[in-house]
Amino acid sequence: MKKYIIGLSVTYHDPALAIVDGQGQVLFAEATERFLQNKRALNCEPDQMALVAHLLAQYCPDPDEITIAINWKKRRPWYETVVNQLGCLSAPGLLKQGIKRLRSLLENYKLHHMVACQRQAINLAGINLVRTLQQRYPTCRLSFVDFDHHLTHAATACFTSPYQQAACAVIDSFGEKGSMAFYRYEHGQLKRIYESRGTGSIGFYYMKITELCGFDWLKGEEWKVMGLAPYGQLNEEFYALLKSTITLEGFHCSHRGAELFKVVDRLQDFKRGIDEPIESAADLAFTGQFFFQELMTELLEHLHQVTGLENLALAGGCGLNSAFNGYITQKTGFKSVHIPSAPADDGTALGAALLGFRQQHPAAMRAPVVSPYLGSVITDQAVEHFKQFNQAFTIEHLPGRIVAETAKRLSDGALIAWVQGRAEFGPRALGNRSILADPRFAKTQDVINQRIKFREKYRPFAPAILAEYGPDYFEHYQDSPYMDKTLTIRPEKRSQLGAVCHVDGTGRLQSVTAERNARFYALLTAFYGLTDVPVLLNTSFNVMGKPLVHSLEDCLTVFMTTGLDALVVNDYLITKKTDER
């Protein structure tokens, strides 16, 4: 029998879909934003009607049985039920007066908006998929399972890790009952140690910092806080206010008493004004990140003491804070840290699918480490079809030579979009949907920001490095396969890495091996042979405000409307005729 488990992340932000077969192998995983080309795909179903028929035909041909697994419990918490009955979860309800203010750093209307969107997403979970299955495969048996949200995060982190045994921390904005959960992972089994309750949330805290800096967390602009932080310094008054908002006692996170709202109102006095230069928020960003790191360190060290384990699997939105992740092994007792390629809510589609498989096969052996390259493919046929009608570009097919040609152009200073194989699962380009450049010259950073990304100058670019040279270039080197850790570049190497060395001497690196990505490794090796530098600047193939490219049409749109010098798709080199050599 052909059996499949389709995992859906039905969170109102970052929805995603994953497919696991009857043997537990991951066949596909991708965020919905890619197909829609709509950043974060807010309030969009993961099982888009225009997409699922194609995915079923490709990955689930003639299915006998499909289980649809979602990343939230359908039975909702009592508070949500109460505020829904009070009418707070409707558009007019967001305006209601006289509702008790929740003990949180965010206002009630923002919290209720999130709850309302989440509730609607759960109600619609799988509805498009079921309709499509009924129409195309009417004899296919369907079943449905729903899992605790934080458990799906933990499953993604642990089941994709190299560990047989690990402590697991899930830290985000909120789940069914609270914002955090902690687990012990041993021999393929997850055992919950602690689950938080209430509105105390480090995720909400960082969202508030994002607001105060003048950014929008609904757009996922927490990244900007991390990029801006090294330009600032500690503001003692702001730090004291932040410390008075959150208390940690072991695993328990809470907000302090009735004084909280007065403190929150005082925090607003620090908020960057609309007309103020972004640099005015640098001290807020630095102080906010500084306190975040203190909170995370305290939590993770407590987890280490409770479990006595040396390995940590970290997930949840806070797992995307690479600026902190690189210091975990220095600040806590953990000696090794694994963060999946998709630690935020898009990743829970995979966690739900893997939990669905484990539920059906409780004695199954753990699967091998899962590759991050699980998404869609841009085929040679698409390029060949485009060639028939192309008049604007020069298109060369260079099988066997594309790596050497690309490395040569990069060493000459070209800015190149590099598209290979399957797309990455998660928010970061890992050598398959990347823009690449020579990392040696600081001016390259400004050129890319001005000509291609159209983004703020304080946001850094990532160094992708041949893993075997990592210790030569980074202090306290750790493997960072998914750009999940920021490490300090050795002072003597910073002059070689001017375009990827941040103002504080750090880089959010990607450790590249032949086993993980053979072609990207070959490209780095060829570039190293030409320059004696085993590093490339790697940034996502998109422009600011858009997700990673999905189709050939997306690639060509970005290529035509930016200052990219060349586009490489598989073995094809595409250049603009006006830029021909």
525-546 tens-digit pLDDT:
999 999 999 999 999 999 989 9
pLDDT at residue number 169 = 98
Q: What token pair was written down for 343? A: 């630690």
pLDDT digits (tens, 9 = 90+) for 163-186: 999 999 999 999 999 999 999 999
pLDDT of 561 above 80: yes
Confidence of residue 107 (pLDDT cuts 50, 70, 90): very high
Q: What are phi and psi of 514, to 5 degrees?
A: -65, -30
Q: Which residue has the tokens 């060369």?
A: 396
Domain-wise residue ranges, the chain:
3-74+125-160+344-370, 202-338, 375-579
Per-residue pLDDT for 453 more than 90? no
| Alpha helix positions (H), 308-361 | 322-325, 328-331, 348-360
**What fold characterizes domain 202-338?**
Nucleotidyltransferase; domain 5 (3.30.420)
Report the C-alpha gap between 475 and 334 in whole angstroms. 17
Domains 3-74+125-160+344-370 and 202-338 alike in fold:
yes
Please state which of the ranges 58-67, 77-86, 314-323 shows the lowest mean pLDDT: 77-86
pLDDT for residue 581? 45
pLDDT attached to residue 368: 65
Q: What is the pLDDT of residue 98?
A: 86
Residue 292 has pLDDT above 60, yes or no: yes
Q: Which residues contact 405 (CB under 8 A, 6 or more apart)?
A: 398, 573
Confirm if 241 and 291 have CB atoms less than 8 A apart: no
474 touches 490 (CB < 8 A): yes
Least confident of 255-269, 538-552, 563-577: 255-269
Averaged pLDDT for residues 454-472: 92
pLDDT of residue 366: 66
pLDDT of residue 450: 84
Question: If you average pLDDT over residues 299-306, what whole number do you get?
Answer: 98
pLDDT over 60 (residue 461): yes
Q: Is the pLDDT of residue 578 over 80?
A: no
Q: pLDDT exceeding 70 applies to what percent of the chain? A: 98
Span 508-517, average pLDDT: 98
Q: What per-residue confidence (pLDDT) applies to 367?
A: 64
Mean pLDDT of 360-367: 80
- For 122-153, the pLDDT digits (tens) are 999 999 999 999 999 999 999 999 999 999 99
As a whole number of angstroms, the distance between CA 437 and CA 453 comes to 13
Q: pLDDT grade, residue 489 (50/70/90)? A: very high
Of the chain, the end-to-end C-alpha distance in Å amounts to 56
The pLDDT of 312-331, averaged and rounded, is 97
Of the candidate CATH numbers 3.30.1950.10, 3.30.1280.10, 3.30.420.40, 3.90.1110.10, the domain formed by 3-74+125-160+344-370 belongs to 3.30.420.40
The mean of the pLDDT values for the chain is 95
pLDDT at 364: 81
Q: What is the pLDDT of residue 580?
A: 46
**What would the mean pLDDT of 236-259 be, rounded to a whole number?**
91
The third-level CATH classification (topology) of the domain covering 375-579 is DHBP synthase (3.90.870)
pLDDT at 577: 82
Q: What is the β-pairing status of strands 433-437 and 416-419?
A: antiparallel
Instruction: Check residue 152 and give its pLDDT.
Output: 98
Mean pLDDT of 393-409: 97
Please give, one letter per residue, the 3-state secondary structure of 470-489: HHHHECCCCCCCCCCEEEEE
Amino acid residing at 281: A
- Single out the residue of 481, 430, 548, 433 nearest to residue 32, CA to CA: 548
Look at residue 579 and tell me whether its pLDDT is greater than 90.
no
Q: What percent of the chain has pLDDT over 90?
A: 90
Asked if the model's pLDDT at residue 420 lies above 50, the reply is yes
Distance of alpha carbon 538 from alpha carbon 463, whole angstroms: 6
Q: Is the pLDDT of residue 257 over 90?
A: no
Which residue in 81, 76, 74 sits closest to 144, CA to CA?
74
The type of residue at 475 is: E
